[in-house]
Amino acid sequence: MWLNDLVKNSNHKTPIISLTVRPKDGGKKDISQLISHRLISLTLTDSRGFEADQLDLTLDDSDGLLDLPPRAAVLSLGFGWKSESIVYKGEYTVDEVEHSGSPDIVTIRARSADMRGSLLEHKERSFHKKTIKKIVEQIAGENKLTPMVGKSFSNQIIEHIDQSGESSINLLSRMAKEYDAIATVKNGNLLFIETGQGKTASGQVLPEIYITRNQGDQHRYAIAEGENYKAVRAYYHDIKTGKREQVYFDANTKIEKTRKSQKLKQTKPAITDSDNIKTIRHTYKSKQAAKNAVIREFKKLGRGTATFSLSLAQGNPELMPELPVKVVGFKKEIDVNKWIIRQVTHNISADSGYTTGIECELKGE
């Protein structure tokens, strides 16, 4: 579908959209041309983690001839620019349909088609002495998904974890939080990868996106010095001694990974100023769990000290969460940082053409 009216503010480039609908009972239909003169706005929010990606469509029905899509219909979406390749953006299941007026318009809200089915079913089971990779592969197999696990988690053994009256999505989310990972479903793949590293599940470095200020429309940079701790401390219960012990992590802590655990060693004297140490309130059941917690929290603090958001005047359909970004032409404090995209919002409308908004955090080191 060529949206010839959507050229305003797009440097005379024309957005192009491909959209098909597949009702629950089957029968795929291409509706790109059907909505070519009805599109008021299209917004796609692409998130990382198990927060479902969302597609919002607003269509003109002033002539009353537009059919309402059935709930649970699947929309298959792609878009880009005329004379360039269309980028496939996945499938979305219709959750909400609204008709309002006058003038009459139809509003459709759809969410990731992958985030449904048995992934949401509550289960009662346990995993004992299994690697993260094996757990992810089992859940992926149960849901007809392809498992993709980051190299750093392939041999990471979980001593014991219970799935008690909770969904597989919730279980994977807990595991992801414990190991500072991203667990999500994208285009039929169940991903479990390290957060903020700009790498694929196989460990390959994702290409860095280069953005200059003249490509942007609006931006916002914020730094939170209040959370700029220099170290993290966590406590655990030592079952051998019965005592409450602690583990500690700062910039001088070296991580030595083994097949079953991680060792933490100080290369320089530890920071002792309590104002610069963040203490995790929860007392962990094991030393390894406490180690995982301080590593995760320290990385999270590093990523969260600064945030950067930008609206691109000319949309880029290739942008997605976890892509590394280099920006140029802003303040030196912004340009010098390495950024990772955490959320992307694509918007195509009659008013502003095709724009892309990105929200970034500092790349994990």
CATH label of the domain that carries residue 337: 2.40.30.150
CA distance linking residue 130 with residue 77, whole number of Å:
37
Spatial CA neighbour of 43 closest among 64, 17, 61: 17
- Judged against a pLDDT cut of 60, whether residue 190 lies above it is answered with yes
Q: Give pLDDT tens digits for 147-167.
A: 888 887 888 888 888 888 888
Q: Which of 85, 112, 139 is the last residue of a domain?
A: 112
pLDDT at 306: 81
- Judged against a pLDDT cut of 50, whether residue 334 lies above it is answered with yes
Contact 270, 243 (CB under 8 A): no
When the pLDDT of each residue in the chain is averaged and rounded to a whole number, the result is 83
The CATH number of residue 28's host domain is: 2.40.10
Residues 82, 29: one domain? yes
Residues 101, 127: one domain? no
> Positive or negative CA dihedral for 246, 247, 249, 253?
positive
- Judged against a pLDDT cut of 60, whether residue 92 lies above it is answered with yes
pLDDT at 7: 42
Question: β-strands 231-237, 277-284: how paired?
Answer: parallel
Instruction: Please give the DSSP secondary-structure letter assigned to residue 2.
Output: B
Q: Stretch 227-253: mean pLDDT, rounded? A: 81
Angle among Cα 218, 223, 226 to the nearest 5 degrees reads 150
Residues 238, 104: one domain? no
- From residue 52, alpha-carbon distances to 2, 112, 237 in Å are 28, 6, 37
In a domain, 203, yes or no: no
Q: Give pLDDT tens digits for 337-360.
A: 889 898 999 999 877 789 999 999
* Count: domains in the chain: 4
Residues 173, 50: one domain? no
Range of the domain at 253: 226-288
Residues 318, 218: one domain? yes
pLDDT at 243: 85
Residues 6+ apart with CB under 8 A from 154: 131, 132, 133
Q: Stretch 74-90: mean pLDDT, rounded? A: 90
Residues 132, 261: one domain? no
CA distance linking residue 264 with residue 246, whole number of Å:
12
